[in-house]
A and B are shown apart, each in its own frame.
Chain A
Amino acid sequence: QVTLRESGPALVKPTQTLTLTCTFSGFSLSTSGMCVSWIRQPPGKALEWLALIDWDDDKYYSTSLKTRLTISKDTSKNQVVLTMTNMDPVDTATYYCARIPFLQSGAFDIWGQGTMVTVSS
C-alpha cells in the first residue's frame, strides 16, 4: 500500500523558513520514472504546484517561487524535504506531498492528507 504523510510546523512567523517533510512508504524513489512533488492550497482557493524531485535527483520548481524553494530527498529514509524561505501570510495554506509514478504523465496518483501551515506573527 502506497502512503505519503506530511509533517512540519503548523505555525510559522513571517520571514521565517518553513521546512516540511514528506515520509512515504510502499514505493521506492529510486525506481525509474518515480517522482515526489509538493502542492499547496490556500483556504478556499485552487491547487498550486510548488516543486518536484525525481528518481534521478533532478529537481523542478515553480517558476514563480523557485527563488524561495529547495527540495531534496533521502532515499534511505523514504523522505522528501521541502524548504520555503521568507514566509509571508499569503503562504498560509494546506501543503500536500504527492507521488508521480511516471514523470512524463505528470499525474499525481497518491496524495498525502496534507498539513495546514499558518503564517502569522
Chain B
Amino acid sequence: QSVLTQPPSVSAAPGQKVTISCSGSSSNIGNNYVSWYQQLPGTAPKLLIYDNNKRPSGIPDRFSGSKSGTSATLGITGLQTGDEADYYCGTWDSSLDVVFGGGTKLTVL
C-alpha cells in the first residue's frame, strides 16, 4: 500500500490530453515539493517534473505539473504512442522518508 494514491491506469487517444492525479496528506504533499517520473517498459525511471511544476532540460512542454493542497496532478497534452509508460509521483514525508505513489499505467489507444 503506497503512501501516495494514484489511479492504477488511465487511457486516451493520440493527440488528446490526459491527467494523472496523486493524492497525499499534509505530512507529505501538503508541505513538500512533488516530482513526477516516467518509466518506459524495461527502463529506469526518468524525471519529468520537479518542484511541483518545473521541467528539467529536454522535457517537452507537453508535460506539466501542478499542486493544490495535498494533491498533485501531471498533465500530458498531444498524446503520442511513445508516451505509453508507467508514471509515478514522489515527495518527502514528515517521517523523513521519500514516498512514491503506486504508479499509473498510461495507455494511448
Q: Is B truly associated with A?
A: yes
Q: Which residues of A contact B (CB under 8 A)?
A: 37, 39, 46-49, 52, 60, 62-63, 96, 98, 104-114
Residues of B close to A113: CB separation below 8 A: 43-44
- The yes or no answer to B24 lying at the interface (CB within 8 A) is no
Q: Which residues of B contact A (CB under 8 A)?
A: 2, 32-33, 35, 37, 43-47, 50-51, 56, 88, 90-92, 95-103
Residues of A close to B102: CB separation below 8 A: 46
Complex CA–CA separation, A62 to B37 (angstroms): 20
What residue of chain A has the Cβ atom nearest to residue B49's Cβ?
Answer: A107
Cβ–Cβ contact A60 & B96, under 8 A: yes
Cβ–Cβ contact B100 & A63, under 8 A: no
Contacts A37-B98, A46-B88, A62-B97 given: A107-B45 contact, CB under 8 Å?
Answer: no
Please indicate which of the listed interface residues A104, A107, A112 has the most CB atoms of chain B within 10 Å of its own CB: A107
Cβ–Cβ contact A106 & B33, under 8 A: yes
Chain A nearest CB, measured from B22 CB (Å) = 12
Residues of A close to B56: CB separation below 8 A: 109
Chain B nearest CB, measured from A8 CB (Å) = 16
Chain B nearest CB, measured from A25 CB (Å) = 16
Complex CA–CA separation, A112 to B2 (angstroms): 23
Chain A nearest CB, measured from B109 CB (Å) = 22
Contacts A60-B96, A106-B33, A107-B33 given: A47-B45 contact, CB under 8 Å?
Answer: yes
Complex CA–CA separation, A107 to B88 (angstroms): 12
Complex CA–CA separation, A71 to B102 (angstroms): 25
Cβ–Cβ contact A105 & B44, under 8 A: no
